[in-house]
Amino acid sequence: MLEYSVTGKGIPILLFHGGHSGCLEEFGFQRLVESGYSIITPSRSGYSSTSPIKDLKQACVNYKLLLDHLAIKKVHVIAVSAGGPTGIVFCSLFPDRVLSFTLQSAVTKPWLTPDDKVYKMAKRMFRPKTEKRTWKMLAAMNNLLPKLTFRMMAQSFSKLPFSEVRKRLDSQSIEMFRKMNNRQRSYSGFYIDLEQTQQDYSKELGDIQAPTLIMHSQNDSSVSLSHPNHAKTLLSKSEMCILDSWGHLIWIGKHAAEFDAALISFISRYHN
């Protein structure tokens, strides 16, 4: 089974969401829809109602079949965070279906290893049998104390001291973060992500011929700058957009407008 959503009408974008997300993702959608794009978001393998398929190539075949079902020949592809490997493999397997490729805060090489403290903590917190309880507790705390919760979690997303994080936020940032925590779930998908992000995708990156935009925050503590730099060395037709935004969630804060403008400017060049 493959669950998906379609938001907006117009030029199609196939979006591979990040970890703990699904087809109801909202980050980065508004300006794209307003600019005449349609966003097709499948819940990736193991997320929500989508069947858990560990073979990434087979999962990507299913995403291609989704495009066939929707009678869509070519799409712009966006891959977010832990969805980076999915976007990379899809674009390498089906170059004739891809107009452009955008990596957003994306994993592009081996990420959290089993020896990392963050990996071990994630394996405990987001076990498929208990992740629902974890997210309910986090959402309850975030709804009750949104500013405090954001401050407590900011270090997970940003290398900056909180005094600098605060300077890069806008009036909507805390509320957007609260809504994110309310819609997030891991299901079995994040366990699959942890496995797939151990792999080396250098060959697949080297095979990609689509023009590619690599977007990242220089202050990201979740996915280091070594990931966009690695992708840039292997993608033959790529350009970088490194933002001075507050951290990993480049769709939140004062730099979100800069992010939107750069993305729309890039993909508008490659509609044919």
Strands (E), 43-172: 75-80, 98-104
- 62-75 residue pLDDT tens: 999 999 999 999 99
- 153-189 residue pLDDT tens: 999 999 999 999 999 999 999 999 999 999 999 999 9
Query: Cα–Cα–Cα angle for 78, 90, 203, nearest 5°?
Result: 110
Is residue 202 flagged as an active site residue? no
Determine contact, residues 212/244, Cβ cutoff 8 Å: no
Closest CA to 215 of 59, 75, 27, 36: 27
How far apart CA 160 and CA 251 sit, in angstroms, is 17
Given 45, 81, 92, 217, the catalytic residue: 81
Q: Residue 180 corresponds to which tokens in the numbers above?
A: 């994110």
At residue 71, the pLDDT reads 98
- 123-157 residue pLDDT tens: 889 999 999 999 999 999 999 999 999 999 999 99
How far apart CA 122 and CA 194 sit, in angstroms, is 9
Q: Residue 33 corresponds to which tokens in the numbers above?
A: 């829809």
> Domain residues of the chain, as ranges?
4-114+186-267
Name the CATH superfamily for 4-114+186-267: Alpha/Beta hydrolase fold, catalytic domain (3.40.50.1820)
Phi, psi of 80 (to 5 degrees): -115, 130
Sheet holding 11-16, edge to edge: 4-7, 37-42, 11-16, 75-80, 98-104, 212-217, 238-243
- Asked whether the CA dihedral 250, 253, 255, 258 is positive or negative, the reply is positive
- 229-263 residue pLDDT tens: 999 999 999 999 999 999 999 999 999 999 999 99
Q: Which helix (H) or strand (E) holds 213?
A: strand 212-217
pTM of the entire predicted model: 0.97
